[in-house]
Amino acid sequence: MRKGIFTLAAGAAALSLGLTACGGDGGGTTTAQGGGASSSAAPAKPGKIGVILPDSKSSARWETADRKYLSEAFQAAGVEFDIQNAQGDKNQFQTIADQMITNGATVLVIVNLDSGTGKAVLDKAKQQGVATIDYDRLTLGGSASYYVSFDNTKVGTLQGEGLVKCLTDKKADKPIVAELNGSPTDNNATLFKNGYDGVLKPKYDSGEYVKGPDQSVPDWDNAQAATIFEQMLTSEPKIAGVLAANDGLGNAAITVLRKQKLNGKVPVTGQDATVQGLQNILAGDQCMTVYKAIKKEADAAAGLAVALAKGEKPTVSGSVKDPEGNRDVPSVLEEPQAIFFENVKDVVADGFVTKDELCTDDYADKCKEAGIE
């Protein structure tokens, strides 16, 4: 059945799992362990790990960050792995999963495209004795053994607070706020919205802000986001702030605002600290983004996957409630960070983007101003 050739660098098999994590309800340090169980017996060859990424258009992160950091972590652990991208195609997603299992994967790490197909893949894997991890997106009603992500409600809270800061800086009076939400099929989009609405709703209710158009963008599709925002701005030309759920949606709104010469006047939020998002911030067209240190997320997921591939049962201290499956999913959640013009340099210092890719000719002066050396 298994035709894998293990490219195990001698001695690299022992991956130490020191996962620092925050649990669903508050935090604490988590150590995923399970190692050492077979100290006297000869260690069995670890199984193969399959990872399915969702697409390469809804955010640059999947190909530029997640694939890179996961590969590096698996390579360092010396395990055999296969990372594929479903390119937004749900049938393809299921086909890839089937193929990975046929090819000997004993652990499957997925970023679902929606909970329905995610659940089908997870349940089928489980039936075949394949261990599963929900990576970044929780599959509602699913059967993953672990969930590794960020505190996504906190991501939304930072976006809401960020927009408030930028509107305050602009001394906006009773600003009309538009919301461009993520995909309705992504549980994260729901959590982000819970987070930012938690900040914005009291302001709508008190009359300090005015609630403007509020729409979800199917599949986080950036092109559709531009069309949706164009319609929002036509129906409500006085939009004074845009809560966009990620950098791609934010850029779509900024593109539309530019045509009306409103860029820079209307603050727009984002998420993912993409090169484009950070450049929009440097240019003054985007108010903030949320940086998620994907290396930490990838390292945590890889640590669990490697332990599972060795037949261990790693423990984590956090958990997240799956409201649909009505179960607590053992979880590792990392902390997000708000990024404004002043601290774009933190993202560079962390090695997430390089000065070379960020500070191209058009942005060189702004980079200097932002203290990016």
Q: Which parts of this chain interact with ligand BGC (CB under 6 A)?
A: 58-59, 61, 136-137, 182, 186, 188, 220, 246, 271-272
Residue 245 C-beta: closest distance to ligand BGC, Å = 7
CA distance 56 to 100: 20
Residue 55 C-beta: closest distance to ligand BGC, Å = 7
* Of the candidates 71, 11, 13, the residue with the CA atom closest to the CA atom of residue 44: 13
**Amino acid found at 62:** W
* Closer of 33 and 331 to ligand BGC (Cβ): 331
Residues 6+ apart with CB under 8 A from 171: none
Torsion, Cα 7 13 16 21, to 10 degrees, reads: 40
* Closer of 17 and 301 to ligand BGC (Cβ): 301
* Closer of 80 and 299 to ligand BGC (Cβ): 299
Residue 152 C-beta: closest distance to ligand BGC, Å = 7
Residue 292 C-beta: closest distance to ligand BGC, Å = 6
* Closer of 115 and 271 to ligand BGC (Cβ): 271
Residue 234 C-beta: closest distance to ligand BGC, Å = 26
Residue 57 C-beta: closest distance to ligand BGC, Å = 8
If one counts every other C-beta atom within 10 angstroms of the C-beta of residue 215, the result is 16
Residue 182 C-beta: closest distance to ligand BGC, Å = 6
- Under a CB-based contact definition with an 8 Å cutoff, are residues 287 and 340 in contact? yes
* Closer of 63 and 208 to ligand BGC (Cβ): 63
CA distance 60 to 104: 29
CA distance 179 to 31: 38
Residue 291 C-beta: closest distance to ligand BGC, Å = 11
* Closer of 188 and 279 to ligand BGC (Cβ): 188
* Closer of 182 and 212 to ligand BGC (Cβ): 182
Q: Which two tokens stand for residue 163?
A: 């927009």
* Closer of 66 and 80 to ligand BGC (Cβ): 66
